[in-house]
Amino acid sequence: MHETINHRIAAIRKWMEQQNIDAFYLPHEDEFLGEYVPAHNERLAWLTGFTGSAGAAVITQTQAAMFVDGRYTVQVTKQVPNTLFEYRHLIEEPALEWIKQHVTLGAKVALDPRMHSCAWLEQAQERLAGQYTLTLLNDNPIDALWQDRPQPLGSMARLMPLSSVGQSSESKRIEIGRAIANLGADSAVITALDSICWLLNIRGLDVPRLPVLLSHALLHKNGDVDFFIEADRLPAEFAEHAGPGVRVMAPEQLSVQLQKLTNTHVLLDPNGSSAWFKLTLQNAGALVIASADPCLMPKATKNEVEIAGMKACHITDGVAMVKFLSWLDNEVAHNRLHDEATLADTLETFRRQDEALVDLSFDTISAAGSNAAMCHYNHINQAVPGQLALNTLYLVDSGGQYTNGTTDITRTIAIGEPTAAMKTQFTLALKGHIGIATARFPKGTRGYQLDTLARQHLWAQGYDYDHGTGHGVGHFLSVHEGPASISKRQIDVPLAKGMVLSNEPGYYRADHFGIRIENLELVVEKETLGDFPILTFESLTRCPIDKRNVVVDLLSTDEVQWLNDYHQLVWSSLEHLVEGDTKAWLREATLPL
């Protein structure tokens, strides 16, 4: 493989020489700027061998550097040859800073504007201004060099009935159109794939783990939409399903339609849309209004039908989880200590017993022992998957894409008898989890204002975890949905009724063990004795939390009550759906402390 990468780097350098380019910048993102990249757009993996979800490479005629964040510092050394690349931290030494340190002043730096957001490109232009010539490419050289490039999946659209989504596409489009007009725009370019699918009440299978269709949309203030997708991928019933005002156009027509927007005001998300859109619109004489994707908040605040679906799919998912955990405990009891791959595959098998499952919602994190100390560990990238060992912890973070919702759950399981340190850290994380689950807060509260509730008990002992406490989750859409979150980052988005967010504090001791406890929470309104209602969370996830890891003396009376009440809820939700040994295991796992 390293020899192949060597040939590919040589081909890029030949292209650079022919084009008089001094440095070529290649990010992991594709033209849709989504978290998940379909196989035919994995350009960074083709060039470098790196398969992680975040990274970038810079190639010059004499040097090459690979940039990854802390999740991938081990993986990058196994996949990307150090004879060709030096490794750099994506956050601590961004690629643009590396360029300024290693590339001669006045050099030409080339990049594909489709692979970068508007905001990123503006930042790059500011940082490199007067020092380098930034060359924006019309064509990506990888596309010409990639001879065995996979074909796009091009799945058929799934039409989501009103009984599943609760609001017609026509109604959504009119509502969002009014919002666009209120911002002073005539149209909005919608590039987020989950926003397009939400807006048109469709789903697809074009991207692994994300039920979307590779497409673009131009939404006008009257609610009409130009939908750029291959027409043969839409069922005959699509026109009736979507309602009036939806014009299906070939993807090749996108540039043509944008160029017709001369002297109109066009809304464009600076963080979610590629710079190519802004450049194309500006060249056409359109007036670009920088504003967040207008679908984000309506999509995030689920309606009653979507909420009912989310609740139902968590019951389904809970059944799969308790079957798996019951099976796992029995295997460990008989000293059958499986490897991480077998465990992940077995859990997926239990999920697939329900026909409502369409896909996993992300690649399962199946981490045994010290591997769990890497919070985004992936056994698939290891030469040999880790194996369970007695007196350790096993962390499994997984989820499903169901026709009625999306799930995401993490459980940390005792394998044998955990150490006292493991139990203490688990209990501190559990106290933080309960702190979020029981939070009461007024409308307008931001997620970062709640984040301390999850970390306070760890902080008190000098500990922390290096990831967010919670992310939004879509309704049979992205498992990582914006715009709200719970984290240290001061994201100025209020938590609102109907949002679904994860609650996942943890702790990671390098080379020893990792802990995370994750449920999904629904933001609900709670009446009070005061003058205004407050918001709180309702736990959607239905699966026991491993009591064997809990130091009861570290929990307050209220925290013990919460855990007992939660387990009673799990039992009452699932008892009639499981039987035999699984039911007996569930009864034991949910008994009060």
Does 93 share its domain with 202? no
Q: Is the dihedral of CA 275, 278, 280, 282 positive or negative?
A: negative
Of 231, 264, 299, the position where a domain reaches its end is: 299
- Whether residues 111 and 215 share a domain: the answer is no
Q: Give the whole-angstrom CA distance, residue 269 versus residue 178.
A: 17
Q: Does a structural domain hold residue 591?
A: no
Location of structure tokens 């139990």: 423
In this prediction, residue 291 carries a pLDDT of 97
Pairing of strands 225-228, 246-249: parallel
Residue 250 lies in a domain: yes
Q: How crowded is the C-beta side of 403, counted as CA atoms within 13 Å?
A: 12
CATH number at residue 394: 3.90.230.10
Residue 152 covered by a domain: no
Same domain, residue pair 528 and 550? yes
The pLDDT, as a whole number, for residue 269 is: 98
CATH number of the domain where residue 67 is located: 3.40.350.10
What six digits make up the tokens of 223? 């609610």
Kindly state whether residues 319 and 454 are assigned to the same domain.
Answer: yes
- What is the full DSSP assignment across 119-171? HHHHHHHHHHTTT-EEEE-SS-HHHHH-TTPPPP--PPPEEPPHHHHSS-HHH
Residue 339 DSSP class: B
- Is the same domain home to 437 and 540? yes
**Cα(397)–Cα(399) distance, rounded to whole angstroms?**
7
CA distances to 117, 181, 186, 385, 439 from 177, rounded to whole Å, are 23, 6, 9, 50, 35
Same domain, 405 and 549: yes
Q: Which domain holds residue 258?
A: 158-299
Q: Assess if residue 151 is contained within a domain.
A: no
Domain boundary among 299, 330, 356: 299
Same structural domain, 410 and 392: yes
Same domain, 38 and 73: yes
| 309 and 295 together in one domain | no
Q: What is the pLDDT of residue 407?
A: 98
Both 504 and 443 in one domain: the answer is yes
Does 230 fall in a domain?
yes
Q: Are strands 187-190 and 246-249 parallel, antiparallel or unpaired?
A: unpaired
For residue 60, tell me if it sits in a domain. yes
Number of domains in the chain: 3
Identify whether residues 215 and 339 lie together within a single domain: no
Domain boundary among 259, 277, 299: 299
Q: Provide the 3-class DSSP secondary structure of residue 41.
A: helix
**pTM for this predicted structure:** 0.94
- Going residue by residue through the chain, which has 593 residues, state the pLDDT in tens, using 9 for 90 and above: 678 999 999 999 999 999 999 999 999 999 999 888 999 999 999 999 998 888 999 999 999 999 998 778 878 888 999 999 999 998 888 999 999 999 999 999 999 999 999 999 999 999 999 999 999 999 999 999 999 999 988 899 999 999 999 999 999 999 999 999 999 999 999 999 999 999 999 999 999 999 999 999 999 999 999 999 999 999 999 999 999 999 999 999 999 999 999 999 999 999 999 999 999 999 999 999 999 999 999 999 999 999 999 999 999 999 999 999 999 999 999 999 999 999 999 999 999 999 999 999 999 999 999 999 988 888 887 779 999 999 999 999 999 999 999 999 999 999 999 999 999 999 999 999 999 999 999 999 999 999 999 999 999 999 999 899 999 999 999 999 999 999 999 999 999 999 999 999 999 999 999 999 999 999 999 988 888 889 999 999 999 999 999 999 999 999 999 999 999 999 999 999 999 999 999 999 999 99
Does any domain span residue 78?
yes
- Please tell me whether residues 199 and 129 are part of one structural domain: no
pLDDT the model gives residue 357:
98
Please give the pLDDT value at position 527.
86
Residue 568, SS3 per DSSP: helix
- In this structure, is residue 589 part of a structural domain? no
Q: What H or E segment, with its residue span, contains residue 571?
A: helix 557-574
